[in-house]
Amino acid sequence: MEDKRLKATARLLEVMNTLRRECPWDREQTFESLRSNTIEETYELADAITDHNLEGIKEELGDLLLHVVFYSKLGEEEGAFDFGDVANALCDKLIYRHPHVYGDIHANTPAEVMANWEALKLRKKNRKSGTLGGVPRSLPAMVKAYRMGEKAAGTGFDWEHKEDVWAKVKEEISEVEAEMKSGSKGDLEAEFGDLFFALVNAARLYGVDPESALARTDNKFLRRFNYMEEQAAAQGHALHDLTLDEMEALWQQAKSEE
C-alpha cells in the first residue's frame, strides 16, 4: 500500500513537470491566476462532502491536490520551495502541534487538544498578529465569524454557560427591531451583522456548523420551491399567478412529500 502511494505521488509530480514544460496553458499559470480556481475547487469538494458522494470526494480531492502540486512547482521554479519542502513543513507542524502524541503533554478530550493547538499556534506566530491574526481575510463572512469565535473562546473569552448566549441573541434582535423603526439603513445593516454574529456563536456553542446548517436549509428550500413550480406548471399555471394561500398549500404538499 505504501509503495502504491509513493509511486502515485512520484507519478503526479512527473506529470506536473511535463505539463508545465509542454502545455501552453499550464506554462502561463501563476500563483495569482490559480487562486480563484483553487477557491472554486474547494467549494466543489465541500459540495461533494455535503452530498456524502464518496466518488465525488475522491475526484475533488484530486483536483485540489493538483493545485497543491502546481503551487509547489511554481515555488520550485522561483527557488523558494518544492513539494518536498511543503510536505516536510506540514509534518513538522503536525508533530509540533500534537505534543500529546509526540511529546509529554496530556490531552484526553478533543476540547483539550484544540486548546493546546490554539496555544501552540499563537506561540509560534508573530505576536503582533494576535489571536485572530491567523484567520484568513478572504474567508466567507459566516465561516470567518465562526473561526473568530472559536479562536477567541480558546483564550477563555466566551460565555461561561452556553445557554447565556441566547440573552445576547435576544438583545441583538431587539436592536434590529429598534433600527427598523428608526429607518437608518446603514445602522440596520450593522445590527443585522451583530445578530448574525451572535447566532453563529450560538451555533458554535451547541456544536453546530452554521455553514452546513444554512446549506442544509438552502437545499431544503430549493427542493420545496422547485416542487411548487412543478406542481403549478402541471396545473397550467405559473407560480406568480397563484394566490399566497394557493402557494402555501403547495408548500405544505412539498413538505409532506419529504
Tens-digit pLDDT profile for residues 157-174: 999 999 999 999 999 999
* Amino acid at site 150: E
pLDDT at res. 120 = 72
Lowest mean pLDDT among 65-69, 112-116, 231-235, 248-252: 112-116
- The answer to whether residues 146 and 200 touch, using CB atoms and an 8 Å cutoff, is yes
pLDDT at res. 105 = 81
pLDDT at res. 136 = 85
pLDDT at res. 1 = 59
Query: Shortest CA distance to 49 belongs to which of 200, 211, 201, 255?
Result: 211
Measured distance CA(71)–CA(30) in Å, rounded: 8
Domain residue limits, the chain: 2-88, 97-130, 212-257
Measured distance CA(70)–CA(52) in Å, rounded: 27
Cell numbers for 172, please give them.
441583538
Residue 125 in this model has a pLDDT that exceeds 70: no
Residue 186 in this model has a pLDDT that exceeds 80: no
- DSSP-based three-state secondary structure for 52: coil
* CATH class, range 2-88: mainly alpha
Helix axes 141-154, 185-205, angle to 10 degrees: 60
